[in-house]
Amino acid sequence: MANGCGTGSLVGMANLQMSQETREFIRAHAGEDVRELALHTKRDVPGLDLPFALDQIAGREIARTKLPQWAACEGIVYPPHLAMEQCSSQFTAEYKAQVAAQLVEEESEPTLVDLTGGFGVDFSAMVRGFAHGTYVERQERLCEVARHNLRELGLGGRADVVCGDGVDHLAQMPPATLIYLDPARRDEHGARTYAIEDCTPNALALRGQLLDKAPFVMIKLSPMLDWRKTIADFVGSVAQVHITATGNECKEIVVVLARGEHERVRVVCVNDAQRLEFEVGADSAGSWQRADVLDACELGAQRYLYEPNAAIMKAGAFGEITRNYDVRQIGANSHLFVSEHPVADFPGRAFEITALGTMNKRDVRQVLGGISAANVSVRNFPLTVQQLRRKLKLRDGGDVYLFATTVAGGHMLLRTRKLA
């Protein structure tokens, strides 16, 4: 990701041919609601390209949260809303750049080819670890934006921008050290797709060609995918799987292909600063799934409750949790963990248990203790959060965190307070 930006500004965008009127409109209305601007701005203002101006105002507002380093660079040009919605965040782009740099660290002059350039966030972050990079994108407009932004980010000298089809480029390109793909996850009607073979390009069908041209291939995939099936689908070519979350929301799965047959696959779960790493067999079976489960009669002695972060939940790495931390799973399918003593640095949320009981009326009254509001969560429980909240007559919010789950002895309710 950018460590700084060039001194150029929107004035210097010769390729994008922005008028003085458009520049002034963007500056005058920065931070305003683009929907209101679209409704109330006159369309016949000479020299004003209103759609482009609205894209810039909206794009920069999104970037303030999603790409703060880009937002701080005044000269950056933003694409239409869909490309901004689909592009990587600063955190996920920088993480992929770290993975890529580790893959090629032994190469003296590593080269990168991004076959699905898009807005170029991932490419601009990754290319900093390479001697040279090539960005490939079918849409000429996005190519213009990428050329401009790469110059603004100080990367123009180490990157080429190619307007063309990524699959066609793959067929005729010289060998590279690493190829990156972020296949489009929408069909020709704009509907979302998730299966690898339904995305464009189809990375499964291109596996042989990709590995012929580069020893390493990184593929960004939907967080909805079953990563274990993905390993099987690539038939021994997967060396690493990275499950990335930020703000406790799973954002993407990144698969690293490498030449040769891989009997063991490295799996990394990352949620902001939290990280858990383990290995699975190429058949993705193993003890990483099987957690040590607490005997129901011991539940009363437990004082702390833990909820794994989104990346670990996606991975299903519950066995790794009980091996790496002094905790046990509260029930076979609860995916909540407990301990008698506090556990430092647990990769997820931690709570102190203040009361627990069954779902019979007397226990419920005791657990609730007269509260009228709580943050309610359910794990392996027959009611939804909304149904349970209505049953218990609780509003949402407050300082109490209520967990409902199932153990060997039946349904349980745990009242907790969140630990810092």
CB 400 within 8 A of CB 352: no
Distances (CA, A) of 285 to 63, 235, 318, 329: 40, 15, 13, 20
So what's the pLDDT on residue 191? 62
So what's the pLDDT on residue 15? 45
Neighbours of 192 (CB within 10 A): 10
Residue that has been written with the tokens 């919605």 in this structure: 85
User: Tokens for 318?
Assistant: 């519950």
CATH no., domain 10-86: 1.10.10
Give the separation between CA 163 and CA 96, rounded to whole angstroms.
24
Give the separation between CA 271 and CA 98, rounded to whole angstroms.
15
Region of 348 (left: φ > 0; alpha: ψ -120 to 50; beta: rest) is left
CB 349 within 8 A of CB 338: no
Give the separation between CA 205 and CA 197, rounded to whole angstroms.
8
Write out pLDDT tens, residues 284-303.
Answer: 666 667 888 999 889 999 99
Q: Compute mean pLDDT per 10 residues along the chain, 420 residues long, and list them.
A: 44 56 86 87 84 90 91 85 82 97 96 95 96 96 92 93 97 98 74 79 96 98 93 95 96 97 95 94 70 89 97 94 94 93 95 96 95 96 97 96 92 95
The pLDDT mean for the chain works out to 90
3-state secondary structure of 260: coil
Write out pLDDT tens, residues 323-355.
Answer: 999 999 999 889 999 999 999 999 999 999 999
- Considering all CA atoms of the chain, what is the largest pairwise distance in Å, rounded to the nearest integer? 77
Burial-class residue 237 by CB neighbours within 10 Å (0-12, 13-18, 19+): buried
So what's the pLDDT on residue 188? 58
Q: Which amino acid is at 77?
A: V
So what's the pLDDT on residue 164? 97
Rounded to the nearest 10 degrees, how much is the dihedral formed by the CA atoms of 163, 165, 171, 176?
50
Q: What is the pTM of this model?
A: 0.88
Write out pLDDT tens, residues 245-267.
Answer: 999 999 999 999 999 999 999 99
CATH no., domain 90-281: 3.40.50.150
CB 278 within 8 A of CB 288: yes
Helix H or strand E segment including 266: strand 264-271
CB 362 within 8 A of CB 407: no
Q: How many residues can be counted in the chain?
A: 420
So what's the pLDDT on residue 149? 93
CB 97 within 8 A of CB 163: no
Write out pLDDT tens, residues 347-396.
Answer: 999 999 999 999 999 999 999 999 999 999 999 999 999 999 999 999 99
